[in-house]
């Protein structure tokens, strides 16, 4: 994954993150708690969340040293290093305790679901009882179409350069079944392809 392409796509999506944050909080229904945002596309949503809900305690994490360093710089530049921690972790074996987080977010998870067979189980493991996970990809259900149109072509090109695999609903359903989360997960197609998990 080219770090310059990653930086560009995260910058490109800066206008989208407020809408994704709003969609997440609509499902989460709380204004406090311990949050984990996973993956190299982290940061944008977390920054929006902490600005709107300062009682949240947020950690962002990825497995790429280059992505972690980039994310650490982004959080430092934002002036919110005391509010958001950045850590390195294997996405297939999360370096966090059981039942540690109230909310787990993974935007851009479609890049990893096919290669990380333990990912969904690991997300479930680190969730607290009554916790929620928001996993998947897309522009979000509340994002104005004009914003989508503004970035869609370049975003698609960058995602393809980054090697995004295509995941069908049927494949996602099979991943959920294999992870033994059928009764815990709900697929949402409004604004993309998302998996909501409730523990």
| Residue 10: exposure state from Cβ atoms within 10 A (0-12, 13-18, ≥19) | buried
Q: How many angstroms separate the CA atoms of 138 and 156, rounded?
A: 11
Q: Is the pLDDT of residue 100 over 90?
A: yes
Over residues 9-24, the mean pLDDT reads: 94
Say whether pLDDT at 37 is over 80. Answer: yes
20 closest CA partner among 42, 1, 45: 45
Q: What would the mean pLDDT of 38-50 be, rounded to a whole number?
A: 95
CB 104 within 8 A of CB 43: no
Number of domains in the chain: 1
The token pair at 132 is 């929620």
Q: What is the pLDDT of residues 158-174, one digit of tens each?
A: 888 877 777 888 988 99
Q: What is the pLDDT of residue 113?
A: 80
CATH of the domain at 64: 3.40.50.150
User: In terms of DSSP bridges, do strands 56-62 and 84-88 run parallel, antiparallel, or are they unpaired?
Assistant: parallel
Mean pLDDT of the chain: 92
Helix axes 44-52, 17-28, angle to 10 degrees: 60
- The predicted structure's pLDDT at residue 167: 83
pLDDT confidence band for 191 (50 / 70 / 90): confident
Range of the domain at 97: 3-198
């Amino acid at each position: 994954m080219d770090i310059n392409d990653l930086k560009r796509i995260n910058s490109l999506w800066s206008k989208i993150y407020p809408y994704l944050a709003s969609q997440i909080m609509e499902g989460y229904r709380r204004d406090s708690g311990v949050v984990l945002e996973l993956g190299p596309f982290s940061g944008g949503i977390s920054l929006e969340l902490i600005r709107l809900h300062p009682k949240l305690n947020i950690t962002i994490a990825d497995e790429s040293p280059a992505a972690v360093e980039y994310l650490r710089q982004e959080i430092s530049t934002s002036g919110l290093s005391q509010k958001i921690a950045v850590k390195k972790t294997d996405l297939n074996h999360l370096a966090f305790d059981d039942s540690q987080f109230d909310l787990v977010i993974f935007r851009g998870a479609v890049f990893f679901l096919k290669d990380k067979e333990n990912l969904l189980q690991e997300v479930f493991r680190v969730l607290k009882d009554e916790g929620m996970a928001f996993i998947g990809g897309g522009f979000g259900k509340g994002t104005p179409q004009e914003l989508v149109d503004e970035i869609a072509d370049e975003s698609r090109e960058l995602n393809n350069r980054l090697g995004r695999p295509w995941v069908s609903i049927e494949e996602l359903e099979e991943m959920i079944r294999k992870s033994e989360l059928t009764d815990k997960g709900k697929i949402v197609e409004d604004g993309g392809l998302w998996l909501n998990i409730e523990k």
